[in-house]
Structure 1
Amino acid sequence: MLQDTDIAIVGAGILGLSHAYAAARRGLRVSVFERSATPLGASVRNFGQALVTGQPPGPMQALAKESREIWAGWAEAAGFHIRREGSLLLARTRAEEELLEAFCEVRAPEHGYRVELLRGERLHDLYQGQFSHHRAALLGLDDQQVYSREAVPALVDHLRREHGVEFHFSTLVRDVEPGVIHSTLGRCRAGQIIVCSGHDYQTLLAEQIAPLQPQVCRLQMLRVRPERDFGLRQAVLTGLSCVHYGAFADLPEAEAIREQIREQQPELEEHGIHLLVSPTPYGELIVGDSHHYGSDASPFNAEAVDDILLALAEQTLGTRLQVVERWQGVYGARGPGPFSVLKAAPGVTGVLMHSGVGMSVGPALGERTIASLLS
């Protein structure tokens, strides 16, 4: 029998850690169970982008704004690298530029997005003219970025040392019931149980999750070294992202970009490709991504998809890129909304993301869920 705890959390990804922090800072005893020896899921395979600008107006934008300040506090307390210099969304075509203009004129002031539209000399001044071949750049002032594969372990260490959170890695939770977790280490009694098991829809709460009809999204991603390091400090996106992110996708001007993609590059729509680039603290760049959906993540990557991503990145960044590493991202997707909070049984709650924005909204979602449980 493991030591009793106030809150038992299944999953040490960003959602699990967010709930652990929210509970521990309120003085509760917290135990976290993770099946692998270190977090290996969506939370360490991603770009580390915590975007406010891309979130649709309303609850998701609010969660991202709240999460922004939590991330800053974590970085200072846990000592991991964070960039708070915003993001750059580059308009490569007139259609993309028109969408950014509409966003800045209507949506941004109406909903409080802190952005600037850079053109002319201001665009040319970016990185000594590195992006002058584009028409415009939207600077998202509230966006930030961490290096996930270092930030997540650092946060685990901080929670363990400073908040007394007990972690059980390499421990599979086989079943949960009100007040009890059954794991490969034995039983653990808990006042509240929170299941944050990512895209595993079969091991725990399978009957409650099934009606949501969630899917898994797999992404092809790369770590690259630029031939010419121009000191990129911001996450980079292009107008292609405007048809994927809710802050832009429902604007009338987005339809012209969709038509442009279908007519000129239908392979982008076929593979769900829109360019994201994140600088690491070591002069390298994380590049992606594609989107393929299904009940399981196929293990087979297509070289043609990587070729498209590299060509897009080289054209956007204006430099050749050398591939250092390739991997497959994966996250839970396509549920009834961007996330679900399930009251599975008395004292048992499931929290699932159905989109790839866990880094952007997870910290605040953890705060809200814990506050709701305690109230």
Structure 2
Amino acid sequence: MSQQDCDLLIVGAGILGLAHAWAGVRRGLKVRVFERSDRALGASVRNFGQALVTGQAPGPMLDLARQSHGLWCELGKAAGLSLKQKGSLIFARSEAEEAMLEAFCAGRGRELGYRVELLRGAELRDLYGGCFAHHRAALHGMDDQQLFSREALPQMVEYLRGLGVDFHFSTLVRDVDEGIAQTTAGRFTARHIVVCSGHDYQTLLAEPMATLRPSVCRLQMLRARLDQPLDLQHAVLTGLSCVHYGAFADLPEAEAIRQEIRREQPALEAFGIHLLVSPTPYGDLIIGDSHDYGSDAQPFNTEAVDELLVDLAEHTLGGRLHVLERWQGVYGARGPGPFSVLRAGKGVTGVLMHTGLGMSVGLGLGERTVGALLGERDWPVASPA
């Protein structure tokens, strides 16, 4: 087939791939995106759609999430995304969880400028007509946003097409080298090639990726509907999340929550469970999740995990749930940091997430990586300088 030229060739049409495409086309580059499936089917559409600032660890991840917040606002308006911007609610169900939220607000939250407020008393009782009054407190993260990923990603593709990005779906990229991509649709050349292949560590850049020793995280996920409808506009979490998210997990108060989990519900730690709830535009709720790490995502779900998730969600939301859909989430995990930017060869760069936070930081990471490719700024790094 004939040679096709572009400035920026991207492998992968998940959130990282689209973020890099947007960053490139905004700079006037000719951009092509290749995706092996007929649409994005990986982590970027199996997730909660939560773009969280509140939970991010101090340092690069918090900086990227704050930058991504502004970019989501801009992209949401331009692409017509259904972007919920009411923030998140982290509910304290126990004394230990309440102490955690209090300590965060008084210390790190204030020192580093997280835009949060602690709701108690009448403010808590007034939330959603009293549905959450059985909790001790709620941390309102005001900068957190949320979208329905399985609709938002295709909308982003159509928006980028309108800006001139060429998409090649159902097209496998077999190999990349300096300026050249060998694909099932022929040979393409580009000034820059960026590989955003999610948790596929074998097809492209296998040797440099192996040095990172990444793994895959498998999650059990549900879509459900409350028997009594709730027009939820916030992302919902509980104090359980404080032992998972970097903004809280290293604080002394998080250890009391860990001890409480081990004493009262050790299965939550065994299965890596903490509750996340995201509303869809249709009144349904996306609920999860568990964490199971390995070299591949095993296909077998555990019913006990789904039962724990439903029980947690019903208690947190104060109502009975009817499960509509179940699936496995999946993402790349446990590399040397929360993300890696691999300069794999002249003109070839790999960008990997090692956490499930691509929606929260991906737009900022794409912006910074493309800026570095063009010599505008330094390369993004996952650890503080």
Shorter-chain TM-score tier? over 0.9
**TM superposition shift of 1:74:** 1.2
Deviations 1:221-240 (A, max 9, x none): 00001111121110000000
Indicate the residue corresponding to 2:138 in structure 1: 137
Output the amino acid matched with 1:29: K
The alignment status of 1:12 with 2:13, answered yes or no, reads yes
TM-score normalized by the length of structure 2: 0.97
Indicate the residue corresponding to 1:74 in structure 2: 75
The alignment status of 1:369 with 2:369, answered yes or no, reads yes
Output the amino acid matched with 1:357: L
Indicate the residue corresponding to 1:306 in structure 2: 306
Indicate the residue corresponding to 1:43 in structure 2: 44
Output the amino acid matched with 2:68: S
Output the amino acid matched with 1:345: G
Output the amino acid matched with 1:232: L
**TM superposition shift of 1:120:** 0.5
3-state SS, counterpart of residue 104 of structure 1: helix
**TM superposition shift of 1:76:** 1.0
**TM superposition shift of 1:2:** 4.4
Indicate the residue corresponding to 1:213 in structure 2: 213
Whole-angstrom CA distance in 1 between matches of 2:177 and 2:230:
54
**TM superposition shift of 1:59:** 1.1
**TM superposition shift of 1:48:** 0.1
3-state SS, counterpart of residue 121 of structure 1: helix
The alignment status of 1:106 with 2:107, answered yes or no, reads yes
Indicate the residue corresponding to 2:380 in structure 1: none
CA contact (8 A) 1:2 1:185 kept: no
The alignment status of 1:158 with 2:159, answered yes or no, reads yes
Indicate the residue corresponding to 1:61 in structure 2: 62
Indicate the residue corresponding to 2:318 in structure 1: 318
**TM superposition shift of 1:4:** 0.5
**TM superposition shift of 1:269:** 0.4
> Against the structure 1 CA distance between its residues 195 and 225, is the aligned structure 2 distance closer, same or farther, given a 3 Å change threshold?
same
Matching of residues 329-368 of structure 1 within 5 Å: 329-368=329-368
The alignment status of 1:185 with 2:178, answered yes or no, reads no
Whole-angstrom CA distance in 2 between matches of 1:305 and 1:59:
33
Indicate the residue corresponding to 1:239 in structure 2: 239
3-state SS, counterpart of residue 55 of structure 1: coil
3-state SS, counterpart of residue 86 of structure 2: coil
Whole-angstrom CA distance in 2 between matches of 1:230 and 1:35:
38
Deviations 1:8-43 (A, max 9, x none): 000000000000000000000000000000000000
**TM superposition shift of 1:132:** 0.5
**TM superposition shift of 1:69:** 1.1
Indicate the residue corresponding to 2:379 in structure 1: none
Indicate the residue corresponding to 1:87 in structure 2: 88
Deviations 1:58-101 (A, max 9, x none): 11111001101111111111112000000000000000000000
**TM superposition shift of 1:51:** 0.1
3-state SS, counterpart of residue 139 of structure 2: strand
**TM superposition shift of 1:214:** 0.2
> Against the structure 1 CA distance between its residues 275 and 187, is the aligned structure 2 distance closer, same or farther, given a 3 Å change threshold?
same
3-state SS, counterpart of residue 18 of structure 1: helix
CA contact (8 A) 1:339 1:354 kept: yes
* Range with greater deviation from structure 2 (350-359 or 69-78): 69-78
**TM superposition shift of 1:195:** 0.1
Give unpaired runs (5+ residues) of structure 2. Answer: 376-385
Whole-angstrom CA distance in 1 between matches of 2:161 and 2:231:
34
3-state SS, counterpart of residue 109 of structure 1: helix
- Aligned residue-pair number: 374
Whole-angstrom CA distance in 2 between matches of 1:208 and 1:90:
41
Whole-angstrom CA distance in 2 between matches of 1:139 and 1:371:
33
Task: Provide the identity percentage.
Answer: 68
The alignment status of 1:27 with 2:28, answered yes or no, reads yes
Give unpaired runs (5+ residues) of structure 1. Answer: none
CA contact (8 A) 2:179 2:190 kept: yes
3-state SS, counterpart of residue 171 of structure 1: coil
Whole-angstrom CA distance in 1 between matches of 2:4 and 2:209:
29
Indicate the residue corresponding to 1:284 in structure 2: 284
Output the amino acid matched with 1:52: V
Output the amino acid matched with 1:340: S
Indicate the residue corresponding to 2:381 in structure 1: none
**TM superposition shift of 1:111:** 0.4
Deviations 1:190-230 (A, max 9, x none): 00000000000000000000010000000000000111112
Output the amino acid matched with 1:159: L
3-state SS, counterpart of residue 252 of structure 2: coil
3-state SS, counterpart of residue 218 of structure 2: strand
Output the amino acid matched with 2:152: A
The alignment status of 1:252 with 2:261, answered yes or no, reads no
Indicate the residue corresponding to 1:118 in structure 2: 119
Whole-angstrom CA distance in 2 between matches of 1:201 and 1:43:
17
3-state SS, counterpart of residue 176 of structure 1: strand
3-state SS, counterpart of residue 247 of structure 2: helix
Dislocated runs of 4+, deviation >6 Å: none
3-state SS, counterpart of residue 255 of structure 1: helix
Whole-angstrom CA distance in 1 between matches of 2:370 and 2:34:
17
3-state SS, counterpart of residue 7 of structure 2: strand
3-state SS, counterpart of residue 282 of structure 2: coil
Output the amino acid matched with 2:85: R
Indicate the residue corresponding to 1:271 in structure 2: 271
Whole-angstrom CA distance in 1 between matches of 2:68 and 2:12:
19
3-state SS, counterpart of residue 246 of structure 1: coil
Output the amino acid matched with 1:117: L
